Structure 1
Amino acid sequence: MRIGLIGAGNIAQIMHLPYLVELPEAEVHAIADPGRNVVEALGDRYNIPNQYEDSDALIEELADDLDGVVIATPMHTHAETAIAALEADLHTFVEKPVAVTPEDAADVVEAADATDAVCMVGYMKRYDSGYQRFAEEVENADTIDLITNTVIPPDVGSVIEEVYDNIPADLDESFLQASGENRTSQLQTAIDTDDDTLAHAYGYHLESICHDINALRGLFGDVESIDHVDVFNDWKYLTAQLQYEGGRRCTLQSGATDRKWYDERIRVDTPESALSIEFSNAFIKNTPSEVRIEEGTDEMTATEHTPSYDESFKRELAYFLDCMAGDAEVRTGPREAKKDVELIADLFRSYQNIDRVGEY
């Protein structure tokens, strides 16, 4: 299957491109990125015959030659690029979040509904073997007292620089300024604010917690109510109280630090046990997530599981190819991803005491 890679930044260079090349069913037939130096270097390194600076040109000129595209551009371009690919009837994998604004997310759903092409959103944690083991344990729990989700990543940029020799794009200041203005405009529109700090907070936490919001959706279904939200320490921290189906309560904690360690975990407390998953650093390859089960009241047993060293990014790309071939059904589609964007936008809209866009 011929694939076009659109966007060649850090995550594409670390995960998407190397794993696409490894998968025997995939042939990387085209690449597009506004950084010409990146396109040429990666095109030569991986023998990619068709090289573009403009994603629209790639889609328009190669729609008949490609089977699908993998979109790993900045998040404020996800919706526009995905819609263009879907309108060209290309199978489309788009990185999370599916859009910045709920309205743009809805447009992606509409475009996906209008074509027979597959549309899959890149929530790689749903394909993590540790998460899948954790989901089995949660499903077997009769009573859930409390759900806790913590997402406090490190300084990702410094970690990437320390581990990888990625190629930075040479981009004009005018391009960067226009892109930044577009991003800010979308962030402000999504949460109905002209406060630059609050818009920046939404942008950071949208990128940071959408994986976990989707992982929680996979475990517990839809959120039925947002009971409390606080945003503090300028923009760095967010806490929220959510209720899921059946009145299950979740405490959500999201933050930003300059620390080195990665702190991302979900814990489920039951009357007689505590089930938890600790996710590994998403930017370090083949680092497994760990599942821990603590049981007992009078006596305690603790069991730790490391189900696999498989890389979840590779697993999700392989699953996308299976969907393209008709051998699997999309697990993380745009309709679900739209709900995630609505929920995160509504956390910030609730903080401002303004109307929400989702249904609770």
Structure 2
Amino acid sequence: MYVRKIEYLSSGNTLLLGVNADGQEVVIKAFFHDSGASIVDNDRITIARQNGSDAYTFPWNKVDRLIGKSGALPKPTSVQELYKILFEEFFINPQAESLNNQLVALDAPLAQDAKALPTRTDDYFDEIIDGKRTGITAFSKFGQNANITTTPQVIASFGGAYFPMLTADTLRVKSSSPLDTLNGDGCQKVKIVGLSPLGLLQEEIIDLNGEDFVPTTKQWLGGVNRVTVHQAGTQRTNVGTIDVLPSGETDLTKLQAQIPARIGTTKQLIFHVPADSVLKIYAYIFNGAKSGGGSDLLDINGYIFKDGIVTNFFDSPITATANPLLSEKLVIPLRFEGLASIWFDSVVAAGTGRISGRLQQTLTQLSS
């Protein structure tokens, strides 16, 4: 919203402000009720649209409240001077905690803490995705596990117990298919995204060598946030299952990430927050199924590891037959600070189950 023009009509003691709102030109009218040149405390002023709608009338000496000041305005000596004060405080004074600080073009980028008027037409997450809010990214995190047992299983394609890497180390990557190799028909290269030894986001592209392990050059701390197929041959994706383990490990219970065969990306509800950022979870959705007798419940737990301490921050069951869907849009998002590792797991009391989940979240880089 931008002020286009200002015009004072002395005969009617009226100030016209040409304003662009919601993409259309409108005129705001400020009308002073007293016809005299002098101003007293009980004189009133009305600000309204030119057609008289949305009118707001108040004593002139209460205008400080409208613009967010308390007793800071000088008493004007004339109608013209009053309008001059109104105009300068509303639309010029960069220090005024008022409408001035909220006047932003409808499609302009916004800082993280920008005060946007309700006239902005885009959804908050659409603005982030479209690059209209700086320093923040919005994304969904997907996870699945097709073999939930009576022992807690991380909601990731590889299952089992999960724990983050406590010391910085290189990783090693291999596939279960010989076709996933450089110049092969399957996945030729993968991109790994996670945290550096300093806790900052980093990525590395690895050339695969089929069923043989290939080490990373970079070291990683905490673990891996995502692995994706970066380059592929005629199959257009990975043919085999691609595993990512810490250096020297062959034990698949120590997996840090996995791309299931022909999926092209990891499916794991695991995230490591960079040291210079804050993660917020705004919504979650889980879908579960159960077989093998016994209770229909699948229990879902969320964990955070930070400063050497593991905390359970989420615990909720799914009744697989009666209500297999668990979802919530959070009024107050879950907030996780830098260097926190977050993951979800699931367990059944008897039989087996399967579960998938999705988190809607943002990652905000803190100002230096």
Query: Normalized against structure 2, the TM-score is what?
Result: 0.22
User: Highest relative contact order (Cα 8 Å, sep 6+), 1 or 2?
Assistant: 1
**Structure number with higher strand proportion:** 2
Instruction: Choose 1 or 2 for highest CA Rg.
Output: 2
